[in-house]
Amino acid sequence: MTVMENYRAWLEMAAGEPGLIGELREIADRPAEIEDRFYTELSFGTAGMRGVLGAGTNRMNIFNVRRLSAGLADYVKGLPGGAERGIVIGYDSRRMSEEFAREAALVFAARGVKALLFDALRPVPVVSYAVRHLHTIAGVVITASHNPPQYNGYKVYAEDGAQVGPDMAEGISRLVFGLPYADCQPMEESAALDAGLLRYVGNREVDDDYIRMVLDLLIDPALIREKGKDLKIVYTPLHGSGNIPVRRALAEAGIDSVTVVPEQELPDPNFSTVKAPNPEDPNAFTLAIPLAEKVGASVIFGTDPDCDRLGVCVLDHEGVWRTLSGNQIGCLLLHHVLSGRQRLGTLPSNGAVCKSIVSTDMARAICKRFGVELFDTLTGFKYIGEKIQQFEETGSHSFLFGFEESFGFLSGTSVRDKDGVNASLLIAEAACACMAEGITLYERMQQLYREYGYYHEEVLSLTLPGKEGLENMRALMRRLRERPPQEAAGLRVLAVRDYLKGERREGGVVEKLDYPASDVLFYELSGGGWCCVRPSGTEPKIKLYVNTRSDESMESARALGAAVLEDMRRMMA
């Protein structure tokens, strides 16, 4: 169908949806807007489906949610016991999240697949845990994570609790995009309940066990019980689903002094106190910092709406609040886990740590110090989840910790995605360990730099929205493949890894890379640094990552990183 044929079909289809039909009528005389909404369909892949809310094939709306749910239901019916085991569904505080979750559940029911729908908003890690805990065949979370309020999305989890891998995503996608919208209708709620095809999941069924599991991941519970009473924390859930579980986990661990930012405590789909509900952004802590100063807190936590990411603010030696990067939090947690286990004699001989290829190489140095093997994965926590599954199936390694520079952390195996509750409790324990030594988290980070070297990371995101932006991203990646850079800021490019071709090229020598195909280019630089270019899997962005290292000081590492970033930015312009 042409763009205008699609538009006219949606005018008819959306007649019973006041919000959507109103949008469509408003753009009747705006051909550019019509094209943007209908030139393509929202894709479904290993990161699920995500987009701006609104009417159109290229928007998140009730019709796309129903069709994706129908395709997912048809897929799981082809798996042994799939329909009976069912799908567990959770949602966060975003616009339309509860409505989309309910529609998904009723479409599953209409296609004969049991739906287990949480009775209120839940974090991503709780749903990942519930897939395994309730033995469902799959899971769904309605969320757009840390994106601005105009977005929503649909994440799908496989029976291992990790986001679906490439093969399953492709299988679901084939079924979804072969379905007419008219064939994806939901069942009436009362009929679904009467037929036993819909069941609501309350807090006693999953949440209590989940919290006990998170508490069991503490390295030294006695330490946190002893020092936790002296640790003062300010916490902001950024209007999201972390409010109850994060506070509960901290309280049950023995940390009594947790003050929540009142303006950001309750769900708010507009996220009206922040530009974007993203704990990666220092501005997310604007309200938390004066509150921390008022109550005398030494650390601030923030989780995003679906509580899979954790941001941390700490006081430096001059009393200035510093927002830690995802790499810094990852290294603090990694060092805490490994050093604590070594001290207590619980560090296994086959221990393993996983990180994404765009996360800091400081982790490699820390793992080497403790005799732990480090595994690199592609970006996307599902690949860390796959590694955990491989370790369990083969018995080759004991998973200890995984992280991504984009503020995602995990120290257990019962959840197979980023876990902001687990990370909050773990960084609180790390803060208690520092208190026991008479230092702060900030001072611990400086210790790590002195011991392992000064690692600096830069990330540049270029937003390229719409049809033209997608074409520009493809053209840029094609150009970089055809004419790869030879140097950046005086650092030679020693080798190029092309994860789409699955090869690493150093001079005339080519070796195969054992990773799934992914549109990523990685440049190894002289001096131990690197840079990486990849299109985002969830947003209309292309990302440039730069990592540099210095033995001398953070200033020299930072200056070099800025120079490499500027050179690469010019090449990409």
**CATH, residue 233:** 3.40.120.10
* Strand intervals (E) in 16-163: 49-52, 87-91, 115-118, 138-142, 151-157
501 and 421 in a common domain: no
- Looking at residue 462, its pLDDT comes to 87
| Residues 422 and 298 grouped into a single domain | yes
Range of the domain at 148: 40-201
Domain boundary (388, 418, 452) is at: 452
* 426 and 464 together in one domain: no
Instruction: Select which of 69, 93, 128, 145 is catalytic.
Output: 145
Contacts of 256 (CB under 8 A, 6+ apart): 228, 229
Domain co-membership, 274 together with 374:
yes
Give the burial class of 553: count Cβ atoms within 10 A of its Cβ; 0-12 exposed, 13-18 middle, 19 or more buried.
Answer: exposed
Q: Which of 206, 170, 194, 202 is nearest to 109 (CA)?
A: 194
Q: Could you list the mean pLDDT of each consecutive 10-residue stretch along the chain, which spans 573 residues?
A: 94 94 96 94 89 96 98 97 98 97 98 98 98 98 94 97 94 95 97 98 93 98 94 98 98 96 97 95 97 97 97 94 97 98 97 97 97 96 96 97 97 98 98 96 98 95 81 90 93 96 94 94 94 82 94 95 94 83
Residue 289 in any domain: the answer is: yes
Does 521 lie in the same domain as 439? no
**In terms of domains, do 265 and 217 share one?**
yes
Is 23 a domain residue? no
| CA distances for 5 relative to 17, 175, 345, angstroms | 19, 23, 67
The amino acid that residue 426 corresponds to is L
Token pair of 495, please?
């080798």
Model pTM score: 0.95
Do 230 and 317 lie in one domain? The reply is yes
Sheet strands (E) in 454-520: 454-463, 487-488, 491-498, 503-506, 509-512
Contact 143, 153 (CB under 8 A): yes
Distance of CA 508 to CAs 42, 145, 250, 482, 486, Å?
A: 40, 42, 54, 16, 14
Q: Are residues 158 and 247 in the same domain?
A: no
Residues 6+ apart with CB under 8 A from 514: none
What's the distance, CA 301 to chain centroid?
A: 17
Annotated catalytic, 145? yes
Question: Quick one: 283 and 341 in the same domain?
Answer: yes
22 in any annotated domain:
no
Residue 530 lies in a domain: yes
Cβ-based neighbours of 78, under 8 Å, separated by 6 or more: none
Q: How many residues does the chain have?
A: 573
Pair 358, 306 in one domain? yes
Q: Judge if 496 and 406 occupy the same domain.
A: no
Tokens of 142: 């309605």
Q: Which of 436, 452, 468 is the last residue of a domain?
A: 452
Q: Give every CB contact of residue 573 below 8 A, 6+ residues apart in sequence.
A: none
Choose one of 201, 228, 251: the last residue of a domain.
Answer: 201
Q: Is 1 a member of any domain?
A: no
Question: How many helices and strands (H and E) does the chain possess?
Answer: 20, 23
pLDDT of residue 537: 66
Question: Looking at the domain assignment, is residue 239 inside a domain?
Answer: yes
Q: Are 38 and 7 in contact (CB under 8 A)?
A: yes
pLDDT the model gives residue 427: 97
Here the CATH number for the domain that contains residue 498 is 3.30.310.50
CA distance 406 to 326: 6
Q: Tell whether 401 and 358 lie within a shared domain.
A: yes
Q: Is residue 363 part of a domain?
A: yes
Rounded-to-integer distance, Cα 376 and Cα 435, Å: 32
In a domain, 28, yes or no: no
CB neighbour class for 508 (10 Å; exposed up to 12, middle 13-18, buried from 19): exposed
- Per-residue confidence (pLDDT) for residue 1, from 0 to 100: 84
Question: By the 8 A CB rule, do 347 and 338 touch?
Answer: yes
Count up the domains in the chain and report the number. Answer: 3
